[in-house]
Structure 1
Amino acid sequence: MASMMMLGTMPALSQRARSCAGSAAVNKRASAATSRKHILVSRCLKGDVESDGGKSNAKQRAASTALAIALATLEIATPVVPLLTPPPAQAVLSAPNANIPRSVDAALRRSIPVVNQDTKAIQDKMEDTAFLLRIPQRKPYGNMTVNTEKALAILQENRDALIATCPEVDRATAIEIVDTLEKQLGKLVISIETRDPDRVGFRVADVLKSLSALEMLQAPGLPYSLPAQYADLPKLTGRATVEFDIQKAGGSTGEFVSKLGGGGSKSARVQLVLDGYSAPLTAGHFAQLVQERYYDGAKVLNGESSLYVGGEQSTTKKTPASKLPLPLELMPADSFEPQYRLPLDVGGGEYPVLPLSLYGSAAMVHGDSFDSDPSKFFFYLFDKSQSGLGGLSFDEGNFAVFGYVTEGKEILSQIRNGDVIQSARIVSGADKLIAGSRTLPDELLDEA
């Protein structure tokens, strides 16, 4: 990309160079003319201008003096073109993915629907503070302080409205979160004064985590209606968490090593957060498969940069949900609701709310059609060194992402072909799952 930028600036620099060369030629001619005028002025002042056989009189000397003054005046009035020097090259770096979240926490946080504008204003201030913190060397701590103090003022001035936005049944929890936020923002102000970027980073992360919890209380369901043709499919109207217990394949000598240490183990646990806000049908379909125990006992199949689960090569099970249709579902970042059966034009600036280009993203498989496979999903082991322009996966915008691994990410790279999912279960958010009412044809129902 850097080489492309340099090539892009070359034509402009060449034009400036030609301008400089032309200016130098003009200056050279002006200098020569000035030298000739200096000679004439000198001769005039010495009375070397000859007339009538070289004899000078008072009139001639007066004329010579006048001519010298005129030449000197002409020299002053003659413009000299200043030598143009090319300014430093200014490479404008274009970030086509500037609005794409670059972490799992940011992706999940930004996918929550905006219900209360004051909460959003506080989040914007904290997002900006997190961005400023990434500036190397001389960090703008003054701007961070301004952001934090404004966020604290918004919280204190609109405390009652922030709580009232939540359903009545959740308001006691909302009060606790708002109290926590007020304390966290106060601590963040103090941390910024210490100029310790690590401490500030931890404080900002705490505030953003609490804000996410408050926003989820404020958005208890979907703020949009699903298309009528999909209304009878399973759907997830919020967030849910699935835990996978994974076992090393029989006869394998390998072990899982968690980040907590304590030696290796033949089993490990991975936690996946499902996002029904941006992918209600895909997340709901997956949650329904988990409820039907479809993935229990399934083998994990290793791909080049993915871990595949489901389908005939992975399990012999068949359940009702594994036979239901599942349209490709993607929500563009600037859209209010998902779009169906159409990939995103990432090259044209259309980016998903839930990007694939994050390590540990989970998406449904699909073939040549624009329908997702109803039973196969994969964990994507995103590697930025193998990404395309802008640090995005070449497959960005083509697969229906429905969640992210939030705990046990280090386990993913240790999973080998044939390792087994002992069990998959929903540990929170099961109440957000609405089972579909669509019935299968008799022949498919018998197979399931």
Structure 2
Amino acid sequence: MAAAAFFSCHYSTSLLTSRPNHPTISKTRNTFLNHQKSSLLYHFSPRQQKGTTFSQQCTSQKHPQSTPKEEKGGSVFSLKKSAFSIALAIGLITTVPTMGYTAYGSVVNPALSDLAVLISGPPIKDPNALLRYALPINNKAIREVQKPLEDITESLKNSGSRALDSVERNAKQASRSLKQGKAMILSGIAESKKENGIELLNKLEVGLDELQKIAEEKNREAVLPKQKELLQYVGSVEEDMVDGFPYEVPEEYKSMPLLKGRAAVDMKVKVKDNPNVDECIFRIVLDGYNAPVTAGNFLDLVQRHFYDGMEIQRADGFVVQTGDPEGPAEGFIDPSTEKPRTVPLEIMVDGEKAPVYGETLEELGLYKAQTKLPFNAFGTMAMARDEFEDNSASSQVFWLLKESELTPSQANILDGRYAVFGYVTENEDFLADLKVGDVITSMQVVSGLDNLVNPTYKIAG
């Protein structure tokens, strides 16, 4: 298997054991289950019970299911009393997403026509695209350049010359949009970053011409590398449009570690007892624009080397999870206070200027709201927490092993219930090869550390 970009996945073997802290699967009420048949006996839950291990054969293919974290003596992410999750499971199996049940089984005005609108069109599954769309900008011109470039991925699914003809149309459309909207794009770039933005746009313009030539010459192998390069230019231009941090964090969380922007972390994992994969480095991009408290907490823990040497504690085909430290504590104990550090549930709703804190979107009655960071991508990263305690997250994190065709944004039990704060953007496919007992040899910040404010890792003790 070839390693992606600057990451490596080596081949070899070995095995350990791990403690689970993650979403779990739990049985639901018999009356509801009898009605829905035995194939739906289980539903998702985010936290795994200590002392339990999950065994499942790992493959290098993406699995359609995954979950978050468990607690001692019971499931945490498991919405164990949730008829809602069973209804969603029905949707997953029948390919018809169902909504309208709360976690406690009450009906909440199901509106399938509205749901159909919410999930119309193919879901955005690419983590880099999700991160681009999650930036706090409003510049239509740059989005009109971005969209046809992203559509090239779909164009290449066509066979023969049709694929390259479609790519050529995509390239021409993006080039035309860039020329027509260049002035508007430039006007949206922060003054302090204008010079860099101009340089990026010039590179983008040249690159689009090169992409057209690649398509005209029917050089299919060269399309994806060029697409990736051009989208990196687009993403960088869009990041240059963000001038400072766009809102104030609530007073009660201002003194916590906060990530006011983006950061990238490399997670190196030693894979055991797998003849195909020995070691992998996963690039994780953290989004502090939409989850500053959650992402800041995690980055602070990375700098404390909290996760170094920790085992993977759950790997069941639905999620990969870790973060439960040795000992009785289920989260991080701050040595300066000798008390657990917890973070609030933090959800950014699309169209809002700041996240909502402390309550799920369901509890707020926002049943149709779209989350800015949805559980759409394979490798979506979120915080595990106690099922019935919204503000109980600390150090346990999970990565979702699914794509969103059957469970698009807002048609699953995760969006709006668990705080997403980043995506695995490189080598995410190899998450499916991880299993309980594999070891995180290190996590290292590779960029964005200067966006972390109130870092506690600098405090001795």
What residue number does 1:324 align with? Answer: 341
Unaligned runs of 5+ residues in structure 1 are 6-92, 259-264, 438-444
Asked if 1:307 corresponds to 2:320, the answer is: yes
Contact 2:125 2:378 in 1 (8 A): no
Asked if 1:271 corresponds to 2:254, the answer is: no
What residue number does 1:208 align with? Answer: 231
1:363 equivalent among 366, 375, 382 = 382
1:234 equivalent among 240, 251, 257 = 257
Contact 1:384 1:392 in 2 (8 A): no
1:305-364 Cα shifts (integer Å, max 9, x gaps):
222222245898733598333111111233332222232359943222212242111111
In 1: Cα distance, 2:117 partner to 2:291 partner: 26
CA RMSD of aligned residues (A): 4.2
What residue number does 2:240 align with? Answer: 217
Q: Which amino acid aligns with 2:334?
A: T
1:285-322 Cα shifts (integer Å, max 9, x gaps):
11111112221222220243222222245898733598
What residue number does 1:333 align with? Answer: 350
| TM alignment of 1:148-159, pairs within 5 A | 148-149=171-172, 151-156=174-179, 159=182
> Shift of residue 365 of structure 1?
0.8
> Shift of residue 189 of structure 1?
3.2
| TM alignment of 1:235-254, pairs within 5 A | 235-248=258-271, 254=273
| TM alignment of 1:14-25, pairs within 5 A | none
- Who wins on radius of gyration, i.e. which is larger? 1
Asked if 1:411 corresponds to 2:430, the answer is: yes
> Shift of residue 425 of structure 1?
1.7
Greater Cα shift, 271-280 or 97-106: 97-106
In 1: Cα distance, 2:327 partner to 2:235 partner: 36
Contact 2:409 2:415 in 1 (8 A): no
| TM alignment of 1:34-433, pairs within 5 A | 94=116, 96-98=118-120, 100-114=123-137, 116-127=139-150, 148-149=171-172, 151-156=174-179, 159=182, 162=185, 165-167=188-190, 170-193=193-216, 203-248=226-271, 254-255=273-274, 257=276, 265=278, 267-304=279-316, 305-313=318-326, 318-319=333-334, 323-345=340-362, 348-367=367-386, 368-382=388-402, 388=407, 393-433=412-452
> Shift of residue 431 of structure 1?
0.7
> Shift of residue 141 of structure 1?
8.4
Contact 2:293 2:346 in 1 (8 A): yes
Greater Cα shift, 271-280 or 152-161: 152-161
Q: Which amino acid aligns with 2:308?
A: D
Could you say what secondary structure the match of 1:290 adopts?
helix
1:374-396 Cα shifts (integer Å, max 9, x gaps):
121112222669x5578954323
Q: Which amino acid aligns with 2:355?
A: P
> Shift of residue 271 of structure 1?
1.8
In 1: Cα distance, 2:443 partner to 2:310 partner: 10
In 2: Cα distance, 1:331 partner to 1:247 partner: 34
Aligned length: 345
Contact 1:299 1:315 in 2 (8 A): no
Identical counterparts, % of pairs:
26
Could you say what secondary structure the match of 2:198 adopts?
helix
> Shift of residue 237 of structure 1?
1.5
In 2: Cα distance, 1:192 partner to 1:315 partner: 59
Contact 1:238 1:432 in 2 (8 A): yes
1:235-283 Cα shifts (integer Å, max 9, x gaps):
11211111122235xxx5x14745xxxxxx3x43222111112211111
Unaligned runs of 5+ residues in structure 2 are 1-90, 97-114
Structure number with higher helix proportion: 1
TM-score by length of 1: 0.64
Q: Compare relative contact order (CA 8 Å, sep 6+) and give the higher one, 1 or 2.
A: 2
TM-score by length of 2: 0.62
In 2: Cα distance, 1:333 partner to 1:392 partner: 15
In 1: Cα distance, 2:183 partner to 2:94 partner: 54
Q: Which amino acid aligns with 2:389?
A: S
Could you say what secondary structure the match of 1:271 adopts?
strand
Residues 154 and 307 (structure 1 numbering): CA distance in 2 closer, same or farther, change over 3 Å? closer
Contact 1:220 1:238 in 2 (8 A): no
Contact 1:332 1:353 in 2 (8 A): yes
> Shift of residue 409 of structure 1?
2.1
Q: Which amino acid aligns with 2:340?
A: K
What residue number does 1:46 align with? Answer: none
